[in-house]
């Protein structure tokens, strides 16, 4: 039996749901409401001491870290394999999956500076602090504080956009010669990025790749055409979430485009 601790829109949790859907593995979901701070509940932190989703329990064994969970699922469940067989191709796949944490950090930066910040600025100082002051990792906590204070003008935002530019350029190169990131079979490398791209789309900044990286655009359309995209990502995002992201992000989209242009031009 599989239990997944997740949150509806959290991209790392959606990353695991994509793999569960691709491999057609049934699971029991337990939602953790990150906005209410349920990730800091001591009982949950016994499961995931990082106070984050996802966490997965398989036959009583606890797993955390979405990249590790996805690799575990593919190893533990043989049907619908998502890792290439050849050692070289598998190494290429790992080169992609090991970068997911860095890209997730950049996704989190954009979400914090474009959406979370604007929601939190409407709340009291106490409520703002309550949202991030219990994050166990001090660097992450400090990043939240800076995003609240500095927003899109922060050097953290520029660093995140630089990461996207480099990642998209590497993807563009790989996708110039193959259908998916590693050869012509969909793998964990592709699965791990699906929810990240959707978050950027929800933030109204799909122009980051659409205006510069045609192969990446082609790849994302193919990702969206897979049944796992609907089952693991779209079905968990409410109309209310969509409306909220659009309302807050759309006015900031042009600003992000202006910040991104010189970064891409300098590559
Ligand atoms: N490297 C971890 C990152 C987990 C993570 O940061 N998850 C986010 C949601 S995508 C979270 O739960 N954040 C807690 C918070 O917002 O306080 C993974 O890939 O599992």
Atom 2, ligand 1: residue with shortest CA distance: 65
CA 127-128-132 angle, 5° bins? 110
pLDDT in tens, 149-166: 999 999 999 999 999 999
For residues 11 and 20, give the distance between their C-alpha atoms in angstroms, rounded to a whole number. Answer: 14
Q: Which residues of the chain does CATH 1.20.1050.10 include?
A: 87-265
Does the structure show a pLDDT above 90 at 204? yes
pLDDT in tens, 41-83: 999 999 999 999 999 999 999 999 999 999 999 999 999 999 9
Q: Which residues of the chain does CATH 3.40.30.10 include?
A: 2-76
> What ligand 1 atom has the least distance to the C-alpha of 37?
17
pLDDT of residue 173: 98
CATH class of 87-265: mainly alpha
Does the structure show a pLDDT above 90 at 100? yes
pTM, to two decimals = 0.96
For residues 98 and 95, give the distance between their C-alpha atoms in angstroms, rounded to a whole number. Answer: 6
> Cα of 66 to ligand 1 centre, how many Å?
9
Atom 13, ligand 1: residue with shortest CA distance: 52
Structural contact between residues 188 and 73, judged by C-beta atoms closer than 8 angstroms: no
Does the structure show a pLDDT above 90 at 84? yes
Q: Which of 53, 109, 142 gets mutated to test ligand 1 (max ligand atoms within 8 A of its CB)?
A: 53
> What ligand 1 atom has the least distance to the C-alpha of 32?
12
Cβ-based burial of 157 (10 A; exposed 0-12, middle 13-18, buried ≥19) = buried
Overall fold of domain 2-76: Glutaredoxin (3.40.30)
């Amino acid at each position: 039996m599989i239990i997944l601790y997740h949150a509806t829109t959290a991209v790392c949790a959606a990353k695991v749901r994509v793999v569960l859907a691709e491999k057609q593995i049934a699971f029991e979901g337990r939602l953790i409401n990150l906005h209410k701070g349920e990730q800091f509940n001591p009982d949950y932190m016994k499961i995931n001491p990082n106070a984050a989703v996802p966490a997965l329990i398989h036959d009583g064994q606890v797993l955390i870290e979405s990249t590790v969970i996805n690799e575990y699922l593919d190893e533990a469940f043989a049907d619908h394999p998502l890792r290439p067989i050849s050692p070289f191709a598998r190494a290429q796949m790992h080169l992609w999956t090991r970068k997911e944490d860095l890209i997730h950090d950049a996704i989190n930066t954009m979400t914090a500076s474009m959406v979370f910040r604007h929601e939190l600025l409407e709340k009291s100082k106490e409520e703002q602090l309550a949202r991030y002051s219990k994050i166990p990792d001090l660097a992450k906590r400090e990043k939240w504080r800076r995003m609240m204070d500095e927003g899109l003008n922060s050097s953290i935002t520029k660093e995140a956009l630089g990461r996207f530019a480099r990642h998209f350029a590497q993807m563009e190169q790989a996708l110039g010669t193959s259908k998916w990131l590693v050869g012509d079979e969909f793998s964990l490398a592709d699965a791990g990025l699906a929810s990240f791209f959707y978050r950027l789309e929800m933030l109204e900044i799909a122009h980051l790749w659409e205006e510069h990286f045609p192969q990446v655009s082609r790849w994302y359309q193919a990702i969206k055409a897979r049944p796992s995209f609907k089952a693991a990502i779209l079905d968990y995002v409410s109309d209310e979430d969509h409306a909220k992201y659009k309302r807050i992000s759309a006015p900031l989209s042009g600003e992000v485009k202006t910040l991104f242009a010189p970064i891409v031009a300098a590559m």
